[in-house]
Amino acid sequence: MSNEPNPRSPSDDVSDDLQLVQETMAALGITPESIMEAIERNEAGCSAQAEFLPLSDAEWKVVKTALPPDSPQANTMDNRTFVNTVLEAAHRGGRWIDFRKNTPYPEAVRRRFGRWAHLDTWQRLASEIRNGELSSERKSQIEAAAAWAERLRKKSVS
- 34 plus 78 within the same structural domain: no
pLDDT for residue 146: 92
User: Which residues have a Cβ under 8 Å from the Cβ of 69 and sit 6 or more positions away?
Assistant: 79
pLDDT for residue 132: 77
Give the type of residue at 63: V
Say if CB 78 and CB 53 are below 8 A apart: no
pLDDT digits (tens, 9 = 90+) for 21-65: 777 767 777 777 767 666 655 544 454 457 889 999 999 999 998
Is residue 92 pLDDT above 80, yes or no?
no
pLDDT for residue 31: 73
4 occurs within a structural domain: no
pLDDT digits (tens, 9 = 90+) for 113-154: 999 999 999 999 999 888 778 898 899 999 999 998 998 888
- 117 plus 145 within the same structural domain: yes
- 27 plus 55 within the same structural domain: no
- 83 plus 130 within the same structural domain: yes
> What's the whole-number mean pLDDT along residues 89-102?
69
pLDDT for residue 5: 62
pLDDT for residue 3: 63
Q: Which residues of 57-77 are buried (b: 16+ CB within 10 A; e: fewer)?
A: eebbebbeebbeeeeeeeeeb
Give the type of residue at 38: A
In the DSSP assignment, the letter for residue 18 is H
- 52 plus 38 within the same structural domain: no
Nearest C-alpha neighbor of 147 from the set 134, 127, 11, 157: 127
What residue numbers bound the domain in which 36 lies?
10-42
In the DSSP assignment, the letter for residue 104 is S
pLDDT for residue 54: 94
- 37 plus 97 within the same structural domain: no
pLDDT digits (tens, 9 = 90+) for 1-26: 556 666 667 667 667 777 777 777 67
1 occurs within a structural domain: no
Q: At what angle do helices 121-129 and 106-118 cross, to 10 degrees?
A: 70
Burial label for 28, CB within 10 Å (0-12, 13-18, 19+), is: exposed
pLDDT for residue 15: 74
Say if CB 78 and CB 106 are below 8 A apart: no
pLDDT for residue 48: 46
Instruction: Measure CA 3 to chain center.
Output: 59
